[in-house]
Amino acid sequence: MSVAGFEQPAIPPSTEPSNGDQEKWFGRLRGLLRFLADLGPYALAFTTYSLFLDHVSDEWIPPDGLRYGVAIVTALFFGLALRQILQLETIQHFLGGAPNPVAAMLPRQRGSTENDHGSFYEILDGTHRRLLDRYRCEPRGEIQVCGWSQFYDEKVPPSAIGSSYGLRIAMALDVRDLKIDRHRVIQSILAMQRPGGGWSASNQREVGRPEVTAWVLGALAPAGLSAEERARLVETLEKLLDDKTDPVGMASTCVVATAVSALALFSPGSSRLPDLADRLADGPVGGTRERPRWSATLRAPVGTESVPHTARAIVALHRAAEVLSNGRDLKQLAGAAAGWLCESTDLAVQSEQIRRTHNGESDVLVVNHFTPAWVARALMLEGQDPLRSEPLRDAVGAVVERQERGVWKWVDHREPVWMAYQGVSVLRDFGIRARASIY
């Protein structure tokens, strides 16, 4: 779903002690085990061959030529059998390896000289560790909340946005550690709603906003939210999507695309979904459908096209196409937009401001777009081959290079939870598609 970051005062980095010595020791141990595992099949084959010739009786296989042939075949059989056993994912995971060549050789961004950003498992393991380490329960005002702050490296109580994306990561990685109480996280997020229902960012006014409500709903719905509570939140989201009360949001590509994705996934029968999907489909720059691309604002003038907004629109159109009667037309539009996306080489991250007023006061939301992650998701939904599509591999490579040990960092070096979710979800989906392409 959506990614967002908000302008807040700079927060000093964590001063907790590093466990680098332990990681270095475990890394050397795993390196030794991988070395032994690589030699294992050859050693077993040689040993089997020698034992066969030394201990098999001449009465069983009399001719010398036949004895040597059977010894070679037997040795090869045992060597190959051990090699197959060592390729099992559980063993490769323990050894720090990967289940297939694509996972072991994650793509790099074009032109990059860096090639050591960690294996598939090392990255996901780092994300897993940071998620567990930053989970906490603290008082927030008059209530006790459990979850995550919006940034891993900030020391403030858990927030609705941070906790919702923490939940998404836990589901994406299938985290089952008892330390994370999903029920308490869900109840904490529900308790942080604005007085009129829904959620908004900390630097917005005390009124629910559709984009933030859609982000949070996208995490709560699959995490175990009751059907009754989900229906109530969908109704709240639909009420917030109003031209009269929120003309700025209804003209925003980001807000409309986010709402379309959320409703398509969690309330496909919503009466608002067809209108919102049509609004998005009619919103390309210049209003053209022949070469569609989107800007931050729907139906913006030519020359304002944006890569992340186009990618977000493609993702939302695909979600809507799965549940609406005009799905075929929506997919064709998304496919045409993906053609322009493939031609663009701009993977730079971007920020935009959504400015509203509430009771005469300014209400500014800063949305940070993790461009390569959105491009990768859009191209994967278009069905591009993960082994052969250069635009897709460039985008995934840029996602990989934005992280260090499974922690993604924004341009200000802070560590947004939403960015970590974007990163791991892209790598997970890329790995699944790449493996399917191989086998």
At 361-391, the pLDDT tens digits run 888 899 999 999 999 999 999 999 998 899 9
Q: Specify the DSSP class assigned to residue 223.
A: G
Beta bridge partners, 140, equal 143
Give the C-alpha distances (Å, rounded to integers) separating 77 from 32, 35, 46, 363: 25, 21, 11, 70
Would you say 125 and 147 are in contact if contact means Cβ atoms under 8 Å apart?
A: no
Residue ranges per structural domain of the chain = 22-99
Task: Decide: helix, strand or coil at residue 219.
Answer: helix
H helix intervals, 143-284: 160-172, 182-191, 210-220, 227-240, 247-250, 253-266, 273-281
Distance of CA 99 to the CA centre of its chain: 19
Task: Decide: helix, strand or coil at residue 381.
Answer: helix
Torsion of the alpha carbons at 331, 369, 262 and 243, rounded to the nearest 10: -90
DSSP string, 309-337: HHHHHHHHHHHHHTTSTTHHHHHHHHHHH
How many other C-beta atoms can be found within 10 angstroms of the C-beta atom of residue 412? 12
Give the C-alpha distances (Å, rounded to integers) separating 335 from 291, 332, 369, 439: 10, 5, 21, 26
* Cα(214)–Cα(201) distance, integer angstroms: 12
Give the C-alpha distances (Å, rounded to integers) separating 285 from 134, 276, 408: 41, 17, 31
Of residues 422, 361, 5, the one with CA closest to residue 211: 5
Beta bridge partners, 252, equal 297
Residue 359 backbone zone (phi > 0: left; psi -120 to 50: alpha; other: beta): left
H or E element, residue 407: strand 407-408
pLDDT at 41: 78
Of residues 167, 138, 146, 200, the one with CA closest to residue 417: 167
Of residues 210, 196, 245, the one with CA closest to residue 357: 245
Would you say 208 and 194 are in contact if contact means Cβ atoms under 8 Å apart?
A: yes
* Cα(130)–Cα(292) distance, integer angstroms: 39
* Cα(336)–Cα(99) distance, integer angstroms: 34
* Cα(149)–Cα(60) distance, integer angstroms: 72
Would you say 247 and 298 are in contact if contact means Cβ atoms under 8 Å apart?
A: no
Q: Which residues of the chain have pLDDT under 70?
A: 1-37, 53, 56-67, 87-105, 109-116, 438-439
pLDDT at 101: 47
DSSP string, 13-65: PP-PPP-HHHHHHHHHHHHHHHHHHHHHHHHHHHHHHHHHHHHS-TTTS-SHH
Longest CA–CA separation in the chain, Å = 101
H or E element, residue 398: helix 390-401
pLDDT at 121: 85
Q: Return the residue matching tokens 């807000």.
A: 255
Give the C-alpha distances (Å, rounded to integers) separating 324 from 35, 214, 276, 321: 54, 19, 11, 5
pLDDT at 296: 97
Would you say 169 and 423 are in contact if contact means Cβ atoms under 8 Å apart?
A: no
The 10s digit of each residue's pLDDT in 79-119 is 788 777 776 656 666 665 444 444 445 787 665 555 567 78
How many other C-beta atoms can be found within 10 angstroms of the C-beta atom of residue 83? 16
Task: Decide: helix, strand or coil at residue 356.
Answer: strand
